Amino acid sequence: MNFDQKLKKYAKLTVRTGANVQPGQELILQCSVENAAFGRMVAESAYEAGAKVVWMAWNDDRTARLNYDYSPLEVFENPPEFVTGRYNYCAKVNGALINILSRDPEIFKGVESAKLLAATKAQHEATKEFDAAMDRNELQWNIVAVPSVSWARKVFPGMPDEEAVEKLWESIFKAVRLDEEDPVAAWQKHSRTLSDKAAFLNEQQFESLHYTNSIGTDFTVGLVKGHIWAGGSGKSASGVEYFPNMPTEEVFTMPHLSRAEGRVVSSMPLSYQGTLITDFSLTFKEGKVTDFTAKEGREALELLLNTDEGSRHLGEVALVPHHSPISDMGILFYNTLFDENASCHLALGACYPDTLQGGTELSKEELKQKGGNDSINHVDFMVGTADLKITGKRSDGSEVVVFENGNWAV
Ligand code: ZN
Ligand code: ZN
């Protein structure tokens, strides 16, 4: 199979298995201009699947950077309706959304933090209808990634550009199981494996998980009562099966917003709003981050933590074995979509309401009362290592080792 055929296969996997675009459905497609050729393939594939229309939303890292450098703060505080409106439109027409990522992990390094914060807040404010539809599982959405030159340079430093891009393509293809004879069947099988793990954890209903490893993590996180472990495919309100993330290796659930204690040390750098935060640690008390350290990017971490009240509390606990197709490649992608699927992680910020029984029917306030966190942020950070041990504690006090030496022990 030549490269072009592989791309087409990837586009088809994105449309059919990823977002699972249905006949007559509208698709909002976000893609960078640098990857226009792939974006068009996805659009064509969507039409072949019967899409009514594909609304292409082109973006460009470098223009976005210019905007931040030259435009005044007020522009980011008040984004025009034509920029944010497409999301709410997507929710209104029960559309599907595909986001093709290729961002340079350091594109916004050094940008005035007030602008980044204003953009995050304004976007959240303007897309409430869309966010609510996401929370209620009404939409089919999918995120995939394609290389950009600047991203590939970061992942494979010192390599000629063309070679780095090619190598990143290869790594992505491997991560999304495109090398398998029948990728669609491979995804179905993979989804079943993840749901088996989730089923086991759902049965256990652990009250808390205790993490320890040699880089200094000694941390306990409480899980909400009635939590649901999820993983693999999702199901939209209309019953359509879709995969929100490609790749995905995680099973995840809802931590209790006020039950986290101890110190957790990052195992990979975090790219937050285009700035890298390295070798950082967070100390929790009664669920809240009370202290933090970082080798680089301390300011970005502070910005993240100070965004709103919920940004200092956890919204997701995710388990990923240290041996997975992605982590076995031994590549640091500097992109959450890949790195979060190579490592156990936690997320600061909003919880996923569907990881609690009846959670999608609750108001934000009711959800909070049960321990579900709310924030305009949802930022994953990696904590998994080759020697990570996680012990689950049941409500009767008995314990089960869930992870040993970085991998599933059950
Ligand atoms: Zn996750
Ligand atoms: Zn997450």
- Do the domain assignments include residue 187? no
Q: In this structure, is residue 193 part of a structural domain?
A: no
Co-location of 225 and 156 in the same domain: no
Give CA–CA dist 71/133, Å, rounded. Answer: 31
Query: Can you tell me whether residue 295 is helix, strand or coil?
Result: coil
| Residues 138 and 226 both lie in one domain | no
- Give the rounded percent of residues in the chain with a pLDDT score beyond 90: 85
Give the number of whichever ligand sits closest to the CA of residue 253: 1
Phi, psi of 398 (to 5 degrees): -70, 155
Looking at residue 395, its amino acid is S
153 and 291 belong to one structural domain: no
Place of tokens 């961002």: 103
Residue 112 is encoded by which pair of tokens?
């005035």
Q: Please list the alpha-helical segments (H only) found in 160-286.
A: 161-175, 183-204
Residue 330 has a pLDDT of 87
Exposure on the CB side of residue 292, measured as CA atoms within 13 A:
24
The alpha carbon of 330 and the centre of ligand 1 are apart by a number of angstroms equal to 19
21: pLDDT strictly greater than 90 = yes
Ligand nearest to the CA of 352: 2
Residue 394 within any structural domain of the chain: yes
Query: Does residue 327 sit within a domain?
Result: yes
- Same domain flag for 279 and 394: yes
Q: Which residue has the tokens 């080759």?
A: 386
The answer as to whether 216 is a domain residue is yes
Q: How many domains does the chain have?
A: 2
What is the bridge-based pairing of β-strands 378-382 and 53-59?
A: unpaired
243 domain residue, yes or no: no
Q: What is the rounded distance in angstroms from the CA atom of residue 241 to the CA atom of residue 163?
A: 36
Q: Is residue 209 one of the residues assigned to a domain?
A: yes
User: What is the structure's pLDDT at 356?
Assistant: 97
Looking at residue 137, its pLDDT comes to 79
Distance CA 189, CA 202 (A): 20
384 and 279, same structural domain? yes
Distance in Å, CA 2 to ligand 2 centroid? 34
User: Is the domain of 75 the same as that of 134?
Assistant: yes
Banded model confidence at residue 103, pLDDT cuts 50, 70, 90? confident
pLDDT value for 281: 98
Residue 344: nearest ligand to its CA? 1
Q: What is the domain range of residue 70? A: 3-175
- Residue range 47-68: average pLDDT? 96
Share of the chain above pLDDT 70, in %: 100
Which CATH number does the domain housing residue 104 bear? 3.40.1830.10
| Residue 239 included in any domain | no
In the structure, ligand 1 is a single-atom ion and the residues with CB under 5 Å from it are 250, 252, 318
Domain end position, chosen among 175, 192, 219: 175
Q: Where are the alpha helices (DSSP H) in 306-409?
A: 336-339, 364-369
Residue 239 DSSP SS3: coil
The yes-or-no verdict on residue 327 having pLDDT over 90 is no
Residues 6+ apart with CB under 8 A from 80: none
Average the pLDDT over 153-169 and give the result: 96
pLDDT band at 106, cuts 50/70/90? confident
Q: Are residues 271 and 392 in the same domain?
A: yes
Same domain, 27 and 147: yes
Tokens describing residue 76: 């980011």
pLDDT exceeds cutoff 90 at 167: yes
Looking at residue 317, its amino acid is: V
pLDDT in tens, 275-303: 899 999 999 999 999 999 999 999 999 99
CB distance 223 to 210 below 8 Å: no
